[in-house]
């Protein structure tokens, strides 16, 4: 019974009846054979469930699907039809104890399956009360006829009717209509082990990401999924429920608030019948659309290809099919139709080009160090206000938007305060579950953080999830080797905080820290004073004598200070270093000589 679906709970005798219909041939010029209509009406009434069967243009029954009491799904092979020709199949299904009126889900199924026709039989007991028929027109339009009597639907030649429909569909249109994503469904999860954000906070962020990518969010579903399924990520019952919902609501794209394996993504697309993508691909899409410099475009393309390559392996399909188009736009679009070997070659080329950029950045860093101009890097969660702070501190006009990842390419501005020159760099914002492909691809850019003299970690103080945001940033800094670097925690957007007294305790715990409003200029002068106080230029050059029993201090010096010279003697280690005022007090016992820098 290979071509009969959803047979659970159906008696064997009924299944044998249905199995006998598979492959049966009926008059091909009739829209529906009265004999066949009566037979499926009787079976549907007996089991009190919908039955849908599919006939080809030869009049042969190809598939049968048993629905629940109210709905029925689509065959898998009809869910990803060509966007031009009709499928050559028509669907006849029953409405037990109901009207034959066609639902929006029926019409959507017909249009998406590119069916020749959709017929619904309204039943009263085992008797066919009336029939509704829908036929496709050109430009995804349709015509509904009914209610009709069973005898009325065969008054015209079905094949002649189909020929006329296809002739209309083949006529060229006067304009090209882009296949835009009009309705996206977001799927989030109540609790996920190890997540920093709650399910509601994470899905809210996913919605903002979709908005930034220009996707219209039709609806959001939050479900329990404590143990993701290896093959589909979602459980089979939930997949079926979402598939029916997608048909009913005309959903174009489903976005899962997590990372999907290539296998999970393919299986979900086949089972649900539309493009399915994940949080990673959505972030990659935004990066692709916002990259402006050659460096940024190269790094985004590398991240995209590393994400998409395993989704191509074993399929021989073009990458443009994947994810409903999400994650496949941007700088690499012209390369994505090449074969796997070509893609691997392109990845290798990109890595070499980025390595050249890395060497160029190293040269620029060396020049800055020779000029002794300290570098301060702005880091933080996306949309925390880093670019606004950069503009306020340097009176510049870097793009600022109330969107995620408004700044992608790093921007550096010169700042002078009390005779002290500083290079202030605005870096790309971090985010919850930042794709590892991006961290790897953007390593050349993120290395600027490693070589900064001081970090300003900007936090959106008004965001209820600001504690999770801080930890997300710390995790990314740890990945790139900057977690121990001296930083000032700046609680921005202070004017939007509801309970400032409660947040003051958080500020005290996380010293050095300060509350500001970059937009209104609140405490900007105090922040500048704090930055100057923590720069190495205001530190002292000291000679430390460290015993071999405490060599861990030497490792710490390389992370937190500037090591000028190191000499390993018989009894101890002599280190010449620049120490900030904070480190001076903690290492006082090891200092044997010092002089203040001018």
Q: Which of 131, 124, 125 is nearest to 90 (CA)?
A: 131
User: In the chain, which segments carry CATH 3.40.50.11060?
Assistant: 178-367
Q: What H or E segment, with its residue span, contains residue 13?
A: helix 12-21
What is the structure's pLDDT at 322? 39
Q: What is d(CA 452, CA 481) in angstroms, rounded to the nearest whole number?
A: 12
What is the topology classification, in CATH, of domain 372-534?
Answer: Rossmann fold (3.40.50)
Regions in the chain scoring below 50 on pLDDT: 69, 76, 79-82, 171-179, 314-336, 338, 596-598
Q: Please, are residues 488 and 455 in contact by the beta-carbon 8 Å criterion?
A: yes
3-state DSSP helix/strand/coil percent for the chain, to nearest 5? Answer: 40, 25, 35
Beta-bridge partner residues of 379: 457
Q: Please, are residues 358 and 444 in contact by the beta-carbon 8 Å criterion?
A: yes
What is the structure's pLDDT at 400? 54
Q: Please, are residues 405 and 286 in contact by the beta-carbon 8 Å criterion?
A: yes
Q: State CA 16 to chain mean position distance.
A: 46
Q: Which of 57, 70, 49 is nearest to 7 (CA)?
A: 49
What is the structure's pLDDT at 491? 95
Q: What is d(CA 22, CA 53) in angstroms, rounded to the nearest whole number?
A: 9
Look at the block and give the residue holding tokens 């010169």.
414
What is the topology classification, in CATH, of domain 539-596?
Answer: Alpha-Beta Plaits (3.30.70)
Q: What is d(CA 33, CA 545) in angstroms, rounded to the nearest whole number?
A: 98
Beta-bridge partner residues of 217: 184
Q: What is d(CA 300, CA 343) in angstroms, rounded to the nearest whole number?
A: 14
Peptide bond into 147 cis (omega under 30): yes
Structure tokens at 358: 């890395």
Q: Look over the chain and give the mean of its residue pLDDT values, rounded to a whole number.
A: 80
Cα-Cα-Cα-Cα dihedral sign, residues 236, 238, 239, 244: positive
For the chain, counts of helices (H) and of strands (E): 18, 21
Q: Say what the pTM is.
A: 0.61
User: In the chain, which segments carry CATH 3.30.70?
Assistant: 539-596
Beta-bridge partner residues of 64: 4, 53
User: In the chain, which segments carry CATH 3.40.50.300?
Assistant: 372-534
Q: What H or E segment, with its residue span, contains residue 184?
A: strand 184-189
Q: Does domain 178-367 have CATH number 3.10.20.340?
A: no
Structure tokens at 586: 């903690």
What is the structure's pLDDT at 286? 87
Instruction: Give the chain's largest Cα–Cα span.
Output: 107
HSE, CB side, 13 Å, CA atoms: give it for residue 533: 12
Q: 333 phi and psi, to 5 degrees?
A: -60, -40
Q: What is d(CA 46, CA 561) in angstroms, rounded to the nearest whole number?
A: 82
Q: Which of 238, 247, 248, 244 is nearest to 256 (CA)?
A: 238
């Amino acid at each position: 019974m290979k071509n009969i679906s959803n047979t659970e709970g159906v008696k064997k005798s009924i299944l044998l009846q249905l199995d006998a219909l598979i492959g049966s041939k009926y008059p091909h010029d009739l829209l529906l054979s009265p004999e066949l209509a009566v037979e499926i009406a009787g079976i549907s009434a007996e089991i009190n469930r919908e039955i849908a069967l599919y006939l080809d243009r030869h009049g042969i029954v190809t598939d049968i699907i048993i629905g629940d009491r109210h709905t029925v799904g689509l065959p898998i092979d009809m869910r990803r039809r060509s966007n031009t020709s009709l499928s050559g199949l028509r669907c006849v299904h029953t409405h037990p104890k109901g009207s034959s009126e066609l639902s929006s889900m029926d019409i959507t199924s017909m249009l998406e399956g590119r069916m020749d026709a959709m017929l619904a039989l309204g039943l009263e007991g085992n008797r066919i009360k009336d029939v509704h028929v829908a036929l496709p027109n050109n430009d995804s339009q349709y015509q509904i006829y009914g209610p009709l009597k069973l005898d009325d639907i065969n008054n015209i030649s079905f094949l002649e009717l189909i020929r006329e429909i296809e002739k209309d569909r083949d006529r060229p249109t006067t304009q090209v209509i882009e296949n835009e994503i009009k309705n996206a469904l977001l799927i989030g999860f109540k609790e996920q082990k190890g997540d920093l954000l709650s399910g509601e906070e994470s899905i809210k962020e996913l919605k903002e990401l979709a908005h930034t990518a220009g996707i219209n969010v039709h609806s959001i579903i939050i479900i329990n999924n404590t143990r993701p399924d290896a093959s589909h990520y979602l459980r089979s019952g939930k997949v079926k429920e979402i598939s029916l919902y997608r048909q009913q609501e005309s959903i174009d794209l489903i976005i899962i608030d997590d990372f999907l394996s290539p296998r999970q993504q393919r299986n979900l697309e086949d089972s649900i019948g539309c493009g399915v993508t994940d949080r990673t691909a959505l972030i990659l899409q935004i990066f692709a659309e916002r990259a402006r410099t050659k460096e940024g475009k190269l790094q985004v393309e590398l991240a995209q290809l590393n994400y998409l390559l395993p989704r191509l392996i074993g399929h021989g399909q073009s990458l443009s099919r994947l994810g409903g188009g999400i994650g496949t736009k941007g700088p690499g679009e012209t390369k994505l139709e090449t074969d796997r070997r070509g893609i691997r070659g392109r990845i290798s080329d990109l890595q070499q080009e980025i390595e050249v950029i890395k060497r160029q950045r190293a040269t620029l860093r060396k020049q800055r160090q020779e000029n002794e101009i300290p570098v301060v890097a702005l880091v933080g969660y996306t949309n925390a206000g880093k670019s606004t702070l950069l503009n306020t501190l340097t009176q510049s006009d870097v793009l600022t938007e109330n969107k995620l990842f408004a700044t992608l390419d790093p921007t550096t501005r010169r700042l002078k305060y009390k005779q002290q020159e500083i290079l202030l760099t605005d870096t790309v914002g971090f985010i919850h579950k930042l794709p590892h492909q991006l961290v790897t691809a953007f390593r050349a850019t993120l290395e600027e953080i490693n070589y900064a003299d001081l970090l300003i970690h900007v936090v959106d103080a008004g965001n209820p999830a600001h504690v999770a945001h801080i930890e997300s940033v710390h995790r990314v800094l740890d990945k790139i080797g900057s977690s121990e670097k001296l930083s000032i925690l700046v609680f921005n957007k202070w004017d939007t905080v509801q309970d400032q007294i409660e947040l003051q305790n958080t500020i005290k715990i996380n010293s050095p820290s300060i509350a500001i409003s970059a937009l209104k200029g609140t405490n900007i002068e105090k922040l500048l004073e704090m930055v100057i106080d923590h720069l190495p230029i205001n530190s002292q050059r000291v000679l430390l004598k460290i015993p071999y029993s405490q060599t861990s201090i030497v490792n710490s010096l390389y992370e937190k200070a500037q090591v000028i010279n190191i000499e390993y003697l018989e009894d101890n280690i002599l280190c010449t270093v620049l120490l900030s005022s904070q480190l001076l007090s903690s290492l006082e016992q090891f200092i044997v000589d010092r002089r203040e820098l001018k």
